[in-house]
Amino acid sequence: MTDLARFGVSIDDRLLKRFDDLIAEKGYGNRSEAIRDLIRNALVEDQWTRGDEETVGTVTLVYNHHTRDLSDKLTEHQHSHHDAIVSTLHVHLDAHNCLEVVVVKGKAREVKRMADELIGTKGVKHGKLVTSTTGEDLL
Amino acid sequence: MTDLARFGVSIDDRLLKRFDDLIAEKGYGNRSEAIRDLIRNALVEDQWTRGDEETVGTVTLVYNHHTRDLSDKLTEHQHSHHDAIVSTLHVHLDAHNCLEVVVVKGKAREVKRMADELIGTKGVKHGKLVTSTTGEDLL
Amino acid sequence: MTDLARFGVSIDDRLLKRFDDLIAEKGYGNRSEAIRDLIRNALVEDQWTRGDEETVGTVTLVYNHHTRDLSDKLTEHQHSHHDAIVSTLHVHLDAHNCLEVVVVKGKAREVKRMADELIGTKGVKHGKLVTSTTGEDLL
Amino acid sequence: MTDLARFGVSIDDRLLKRFDDLIAEKGYGNRSEAIRDLIRNALVEDQWTRGDEETVGTVTLVYNHHTRDLSDKLTEHQHSHHDAIVSTLHVHLDAHNCLEVVVVKGKAREVKRMADELIGTKGVKHGKLVTSTTGEDLL
């Protein structure tokens, strides 16, 4: 059970008009939703600058599966961190290229380090970390 | 079969020393690897600023699965774009929170629009798009 | 004269508590201020993805003023775009290094192109563009 | 006096072709220049994640100078940190809007905190920090 609060925002009406246009275009149903998303983004961003908070990240990797030993290395790397790596999604993009998304849970700084290692593995063409959240306390 | 080229980089030796420290820390095996990664990142970034190139993105969403109709809405949304949505990974973070990663393929601007829609769905707590690549021509 | 509007945001009270902590730490005086800043950031970000809207950017450059002809080249470059370049700030960081901030006004995509040229000038050690705003309609 | 090093990069020739196109478009004179810029960016980015290294940032602020006491507050704030604030550039964008760029020197985490305070000042419409560098050791 959670309690709902309500607060008022005073704002110039022209600024509000532009915001309404933007959120309509982005497909939001109402202002509260859009504001809550802005607030959550600010909180998650702040969380990742601290480093020692429990977070979740996803690492997106694109690589050529013909690269010698690469799949094995990535699999091995993930197994040696099995407590932190929650799950992995593998997509065959074409005859050569694979996309892999690795979901990692842990302290922000450890998730970052693990992402660096995965992205830096020889043969990975492109990699990026999304710094997301466990969702707790982000109601 | 691809042909390997080789080019030389002239650089102040102290700058090179600092770069070597950085890539050792990031876990790269050698300089060429690290340089190729910097080059690929720059190319992928440029690709996404154009808008009409064929790309791949991953959308990471965190939401509470108790939110009325949210899973249904997300599933429905994905089915109505089944040609663009390649695959989805779902993780149960705790009793309430889910993390979903959606892999989307298409023109950069369409992938962005679809990510906006998914992230803006009522009940999604946090969402972010990774602008990645099909891997083609990124050898 | 501008008219002030007011709208209500409904939000879980624990999420609001965390937001209040964050904005206190960031030094905001009240919630409306913080929310308006989040809204303006979202609007400015959107403006820069379009490309053809009138905007203002600042380009921060760090370079060694001993680099042959660099100052001349940067000055010349700026003069050949004198209609777009509003002003320049120069700081002597130490005996060798200069920091220069160039304020550029124009359509988003032209400001970006000019920033690329300045940052890419031989001898510039580091450069970054801030995508800001003319402030119009951002009351 | 600095010593020049040289190292070789092996790379697929199609990837190199695409990189050459990109840097030509960005206005670079040769590959070494472009590679050094990528390396310096990676180093500066890394420096800012540490927090305790000596750095330089620029804070771009847009505000309405009619906002009661705002200029005074910004000036006062800057004077109370006169050891960290190196210089300020002020531009009159139109009859109402001002753009101010504040150059701040200090440890990464202090520069960030000061930027937060300036950006969070009531009446500032838009603000952003560029995390740059003193240029030392970035030859």
For residue A1, is pLDDT > 60?
Answer: no
- Measure D22 CA to nearest chain C CA, in Å: 11
Average pLDDT along chain D: 88
Residues in chain B where the model's pLDDT stays below 70: 1-2
Count CA atoms closer than 13 A to B52's CA, side-chain side.
0
- Measure B52 CA to nearest chain D CA, in Å: 17
Q: Looking at residues D93-106, what average pLDDT do you find?
A: 91
Residue C58: its pLDDT value, please? 95
- Measure D44 CA to nearest chain B CA, in Å: 11
Q: Looking at residues C50-63, what average pLDDT do you find?
A: 90
Q: What single letter denotes the amino acid at residue C49?
A: T
For residue D22, is pLDDT > 80?
Answer: yes
CA dist B55 and A115 (Å) reads 22
Q: Are C77 and C123 in contact (CB under 8 A)?
A: no
Q: Looking at residues A46-74, what average pLDDT do you find?
A: 86
Chain A residues 58-117 with CB within 8 Å of chain B: 58, 60, 62-64, 86-89, 91, 93-94, 96-99, 101, 103, 105, 116-117
Band the pLDDT of C52: cuts 50, 70, 90. confident
CA dist D62 and D126 (Å) reads 5
Candidates D5, D15, D16; nearest CB to B11: D5
Q: For tokens 């990464």, what's the residue?
A: D108
Chain B residues 38-67 with CB within 8 Å of chain A: 40-41, 44, 56, 58, 60, 62-64
Angle between helices D108-119 and D70-79 (to 10 degrees): 160
Residue C59's beta-bridge partner residues? C102, C129
- pLDDT tens digits, D40-59: 999 998 888 887 889 999 99
For residue A111, is pLDDT > 70?
Answer: yes
CA dist C83 and A92 (Å) reads 50
- Measure A66 CA to nearest chain B CA, in Å: 11
For residue A100, is pLDDT > 80?
Answer: yes
Q: Are the Cβ atoms of C33 and D133 closer than 8 angstroms?
A: no
Residue A2: its pLDDT value, please? 67
Q: Which chain A residues are Cβ-neighbours of B139 within 8 angstroms?
A: 64, 125
| Chains near C (3 or more Cβ pairs under 8 Å) | A, D
Q: Does D8 touch chain B (CB under 8 A)?
A: yes
CA dist D44 and C91 (Å) reads 19
- pLDDT tens digits, B61-75: 999 888 878 888 888
For residue A136, is pLDDT > 90?
Answer: no
Which two tokens mark D38? 């990528």
For C118, the 3-state DSSP assignment is: helix
For residue D65, is pLDDT > 60?
Answer: yes
Average pLDDT along chain B: 88
N-terminal to C-terminal alpha carbon distance within chain A: 11
Nearest to D82 by CA among D97, D103, D66, D61: D103
Output the pTM of the full model: 0.81
Instruction: Identify from C60, C61, C110 which residue to disrupt to test chain D contact, counting D C-beta atoms within 10 A and taking the largest count.
Output: C60
Q: Does A32 touch chain B (CB under 8 A)?
A: no
Nearest to D11 by CA among C22, A40, B31: B31
Residue C2: its pLDDT value, please? 67
At residue C84, what are phi and psi to the nearest 5 degrees? -95, -30
Q: Looking at residues D107-133, what average pLDDT do you find?
A: 89
Q: Are the Cβ atoms of D44 and C126 closer than 8 angstroms?
A: yes
Q: Are the Cβ atoms of C126 and D117 closer than 8 angstroms?
A: no
Residue C62: its pLDDT value, please? 93
CA dist D134 and B137 (Å) reads 37
Residue B60: its pLDDT value, please? 95
Residue D2: its pLDDT value, please? 67
- pLDDT tens digits, C91-125: 988 888 999 999 999 999 899 989 988 988 888 88
Residue B2: its pLDDT value, please? 67
Q: Looking at residues A28-40, what average pLDDT do you find?
A: 92
Q: Looking at residues C36-65, what average pLDDT do you find?
A: 90
Residue C83: its pLDDT value, please? 82
For residue C1, is pLDDT > 70?
Answer: no
D15-21, Cβ contacts within 8 angstroms, sequence gap of 24 or more:
D15/B36, D15/B39, D15/B40, D15/B43, D15/B137, D15/B138, D15/B139, D16/B5, D16/B7, D18/B43, D18/B137, D19/B39, D19/B42, D19/B43
Q: Are the Cβ atoms of C5 and A10 closer than 8 angstroms?
A: yes
Q: Looking at residues C55-80, what average pLDDT do you find?
A: 86
ipTM passes above 0.85? no
Q: Are the Cβ atoms of B32 and D8 closer than 8 angstroms?
A: yes
Q: Say which residue, D27 or A60, is predicted with more confidence.
A: A60
Candidates B88, B116, B130; nearest CB to A60: B130
CA gyration radius for chain D?
20
Nearest to B139 by CA among A80, D19, C82: D19
